[in-house]
Homo-oligomer: A and B are copies of this chain.
Amino acid sequence: MYNVAAHMTAAMRVMSSLTLTLFFSIICCSLTEKLSNASSPNIIIMLMDDMGWGDLGVLGQPSKETPYLDAMAAQGMLFPNFYTANPLCSPSRAALLTGRLPVRNGFYTTNGHARNAYTPQEIVGGISKDEILLPQIMKKKGYVSKIVGKWHLGHRPQYLPLKNGFDEWFGAPDCHFGPYNSSIRPNIPVYNNSEMLGRYYEEFKIDRKTGESNLTQMYLLEGVDFIRRQTEAQRPFFLYWAPDATHAPVYASKPFLGQSQRGRYGDAVMELDYSVGHILLWLKRLGIENDTFVFFTSDNGAALTSGPNEAGSNGPFLCGKETTFEGGMREPAIAWWPGHIKAGTVNFQLASVMDLFPTSLALAGLSPPDDRALDGLDLTPVLLNHPHKQGNRPIFYYRGNELMAVRIGQYKAHYWTWSNSLEEFNKGINFCPGEEVPGVTTHDQKEHTLQPILFHLGRDPGEKFPISVSSHEYQKVLSRISPVVEQHKSTLVPGVPQLNMCDVAVMNWAPAGCEKLGKCLNVPKSQPWKCDWPH
């Protein structure tokens, strides 16, 4: 409890100085001399949790409640064709930090065909020691790295952030969706660096009834505090800011609760929007906005099955989280770097969360590892306005171990379709509520490899009108896509799957630091089993 209080006091100090600042006022004084290390700009990746493409005002949310993100887009570059690497949190995050598809970096399962897998606390695996994470390479140029928020690449000691390149961490290894009472399964711990500070629903409250929690405030303060410290020390930094307020159970702090037209989910979005705005304001206040590259995106599409109260919007796109339709994998994405990225641009480049790996390295003046296949592309030519440099790159839509679909240009070919099983669907788990495209949103795993279902995403972003197989267009396009897919498949070497085994003994019973807090729980006997991934 002492640690939490000390931490919160530090945070409160930042807070009160924050409240002294008038938002969007012009601030001319900088706390430290401006870093003009153009070859090593600071890098901030803001990764939201289950936030959908359609949750931003600038992307058509009817409530238009994201003024700071909309301003960020107006000052930066918007990517309407930006994709995650997987429609689920853990693999998506592993892909971001490795620049590689989950099927390469091991964040998938072979327990079932085309199943989404992640890192619940009974998972045995985590990020493989053979993978190289972004902050590990950034170190070579003196970058100090911090993750704030959700990790989700494994919670056993060897998998935690400080063992994988990060210098600092404030957040949790797993999701906050439960358990809520440590009696049967341990509540998820919240870490400060390599030791736990407390647990969700204990020291770190989320009121399940009202949705009230100060976690986003804490993540904001932790981020700002880190930025200030590195700026004062004149060290280049990498901040991976990963709040999770928009993942069910969604939460917001008191000033935001009840403010949104959209209910509690909207409250959470408003607080995140405000926090993004606050971080950008601090960059300006510190005089480092021209030396800091900021990228905002989300880990996967909105979790429509939690709708309407705890789900976001995927705008005009089909289905949501867990699926390889556009709603599951197309993400809001904004790049911001005043003085470098032209304000108010919209870039239609097909881009991926995996691109943030080589792009960040390129910005830092570093080379990506040359001993492994990388799926990300360096976006700096696009960001710095050398168009068409990465013109014809494909987007691969994986679900677990299966390549479900491919996008090239405006065309998307589905090789497999599946929303979820009829059995699950009949229990009320619906990844496509109110949507049903015959032969597309199938409830059995349907193979189309001999005759893929083809959509033109320009004319038909909602994947509602398959292109006729007998058309000239279909034949022509497929002859362009097929060799790309064949090439990809024939050269792909899958990594060792890390998400196959589960065990109650590996749960967060006694995380490092629990002794000091008197919060260690008894570890049960090991009883490993093959994890069950229902969808």
Binding site for B on A (CB under 8 A): 54, 57-64, 78, 80-81, 260-263, 265-266, 307-309, 313, 315-316, 318, 346, 348, 410, 433-437, 440, 456-465
The answer, among B61, B263, B461, for a CB contact under 8 Å with A313, is B461
Dominant SS among interface residues on chain A: loop
Residues of B near A261 (CB, < 8 A) are: 348, 410, 458
Residues of B near A463 (CB, < 8 A) are: 434
- State how many angstroms separate the Cβ of A56 from the closest Cβ of chain B: 9
The answer, among B308, B410, B436, for a CB contact under 8 Å with A465, is B308
Q: Which 9 A-B pairs have the closest CB atoms?
A: A60-B60, A434-B464, A261-B458, A308-B460, A308-B465, A263-B459, A308-B459, A434-B437, A436-B436
Question: Judging by beta carbons under 8 Å apart, are A464 and B308 in contact?
Answer: yes
- State how many angstroms separate the Cβ of A360 from the closest Cβ of chain B: 26
The answer, among B63, B434, B459, for a CB contact under 8 Å with A309, is B459
Question: Judging by beta carbons under 8 Å apart, are B61 and A60 in contact?
Answer: yes
In Å, the complex CA distance between A246 and B160 comes to: 55
CB contact under 8 A between A316 and B459, given known A348-B261, A435-B435, A465-B433:
no
- State how many angstroms separate the Cβ of A412 from the closest Cβ of chain B: 13
In Å, the complex CA distance between A40 and B262 comes to: 39
- State how many angstroms separate the Cβ of A302 from the closest Cβ of chain B: 11
In Å, the complex CA distance between A453 and B457 comes to: 33
CB contact under 8 A between A436 and B435, given known A60-B315, A459-B308:
yes
Residues of B near A458 (CB, < 8 A) are: 63, 260-263, 266
In Å, the complex CA distance between A435 and B317 comes to: 12
Question: Judging by beta carbons under 8 Å apart, are B60 and A465 in contact?
Answer: no
In Å, the complex CA distance between A288 and B109 comes to: 66
Residues of B near A410 (CB, < 8 A) are: 261
Count the copies.
2
18 residue pairs bridging A and B, Cβ less than 8 Å apart: A54-B316, A58-B58, A60-B316, A62-B81, A63-B80, A63-B348, A64-B80, A261-B410, A263-B458, A263-B459, A307-B465, A308-B464, A313-B462, A318-B434, A433-B437, A434-B436, A434-B464, A436-B436
In Å, the complex CA distance between A496 and B199 comes to: 69
Residues of B near A61 (CB, < 8 A) are: 60, 316
- State how many angstroms separate the Cβ of A329 from the closest Cβ of chain B: 14
In Å, the complex CA distance between A457 and B308 comes to: 10
- State how many angstroms separate the Cβ of A303 from the closest Cβ of chain B: 14
In Å, the complex CA distance between A60 and B55 comes to: 10
Known pairs A61-B316, A64-B80, A307-B460 / 17 extra A-B pairs, C-beta < 8 Å: A54-B60, A60-B315, A62-B81, A63-B80, A63-B458, A260-B458, A261-B348, A308-B459, A308-B464, A308-B465, A309-B459, A313-B461, A318-B434, A433-B465, A434-B462, A434-B463, A434-B464
CB contact under 8 A between A456 and B60, given known A434-B318, A465-B308:
no
The answer, among B316, B436, B437, for a CB contact under 8 Å with A316, is B316
- State how many angstroms separate the Cβ of A224 from the closest Cβ of chain B: 28
- State how many angstroms separate the Cβ of A249 from the closest Cβ of chain B: 15
In Å, the complex CA distance between A81 and B54 comes to: 17
In Å, the complex CA distance between A63 and B309 comes to: 29
Between A57, A61, A308, the greatest number of chain B beta carbons within 10 A of the residue's beta carbon is seen for A308
Chain B: which residue is nearest A67 at the CB level? B346
Chain B: which residue is nearest A440 at the CB level? B434
Question: Judging by beta carbons under 8 Å apart, are A346 and B262 in contact?
Answer: no
Question: Judging by beta carbons under 8 Å apart, are B434 and A308 in contact?
Answer: no
- State how many angstroms separate the Cβ of A323 from the closest Cβ of chain B: 14
In Å, the complex CA distance between A262 and B316 comes to: 14
- State how many angstroms separate the Cβ of A461 from the closest Cβ of chain B: 5
In Å, the complex CA distance between A360 and B309 comes to: 39
Residues of B near A457 (CB, < 8 A) are: 62
In Å, the complex CA distance between A464 and B435 comes to: 9
- State how many angstroms separate the Cβ of A24 from the closest Cβ of chain B: 13
Residues of B near A78 (CB, < 8 A) are: 64
